[in-house]
Amino acid sequence: MRLEKYIATSGIGSRRAVKKSIRAGLVTVNGETILVPGHPIDVGTDTVVFDGKLVEPLTEHLYLMVNKPSGYVTTRRDERGRSTVMSLVADLPDSIYPVGRLDLETEGLLLFTNDGDFAYRLLHPSYEVEKTYLVWVKGIPNDTAVQRLRQGVTIPSGKTAPAKVKRLKTSRGEASTQFEVVIHEGKKRQVRLMFKAVGHRVIRLKRTRIGNLCLGGLPQGQYRFLTASEITALMEL
């Protein structure tokens, strides 16, 4: 790429202004002052400095949600050859990665981005982003068990923070009960371990919301890009 284009597309200024600065000797490439605007740049290899500051090429930031089916590992590559969530976004640039993780068997809302700040804000416990899960458990937990889940229970990684737990319905034949659970932590296998702590096994788990973002009617295995207002709202949480 031409030097003046490389600098201008980094958002530093117009191509005309950049050309002038190059001719004025304000730009170095790999430590050497370059006075020719059309000097070829090897993007990703050459180090370009403009007026003492490193010029970084603008990469397009991507933000999307996937409706993860059960049976996909949340990792970029799996040594055991299992299907990974990356195969659900295989037609997109490989700069994107999943934000956080869902267990192999967990379904539902999983975000992907290549914006490190965005991922950090969503994952860092201090931001306490709420996540909603639909949970199907074996049997019928009694009200004492539900109350304990609401107050916090002890799991191997520590005590869970208070959670919102709503009983939705019990299946015909009373084999299973469905709950809606809202938590703002991300301990490993947290929802499964919370119910295990009160004596009930989770048989199906689906994340339906992260912050302001709902899975809605996105079909299983599909992705969609977030809208500008969805991205802004998540960044302001």
Kindly write out the interface string for residues 67-106 of this chain, putting x where it contacts ligand URA by CB under 6 A and - elsewhere. -----------------------------------xx--x
Is residue 205 close enough to count as binding ligand URA by CB under 6 A?
yes
CB of 39 to ligand URA, least distance (A): 50
Is residue 230 close enough to count as binding ligand URA by CB under 6 A?
no
CA angle 199, 204, 210 (to 5 degrees): 105
The answer to whether 191 and 181 have CB atoms below 8 angstroms apart is yes
Nearer to ligand URA, 21 or 132 (CB): 132
Question: Is 103 designated active site?
Answer: yes
Kindly write out the interface string for residues 17-56 of this chain, putting x where it contacts ligand URA by CB under 6 A and - elsewhere. ----------------------------------------
The catalytic residue among 51, 78, 94, 103 is 103
Task: Say which amino acid occupies 101.
Answer: R
3-state secondary structure string across the chain: CEHHHHHHCCCCCCHHHHHHHHHCCCEEECCEECCCCCCECCCCCCCEEECCEECCCCCCCCEEEEEECCCCECCCCCCCCCCEHHHHHCCCCCCCEEECCCCCCCEEEEEEECCHHHHHHHHCHHHCCCEEEEEEEECCCCHHHHHHHHHCCEECCEECCCCEEEEEEECCCCCEEEEEEEECCCCCCHHHHHHHHCCCCEEEEEEEEECCEECCCCCCCCEEECCHHHHHHHHCC
Kindly write out the interface string for residues 125-164 of this chain, putting x where it contacts ligand URA by CB under 6 A and - elsewhere. ----------------------------------------
Nearer to ligand URA, 139 or 186 (CB): 186
Q: List the one residue from 189, 208, 220, 233 that touches ligand URA (CB under 6 A).
A: 189
Is residue 191 close enough to count as binding ligand URA by CB under 6 A?
yes
Is residue 190 close enough to count as binding ligand URA by CB under 6 A?
yes
Is residue 215 close enough to count as binding ligand URA by CB under 6 A?
no
Instruction: State the residues that interact with ligand URA by CB under 6 A.
Output: 102-103, 106, 189-192, 205
Q: Which residues are catalytic?
A: 103
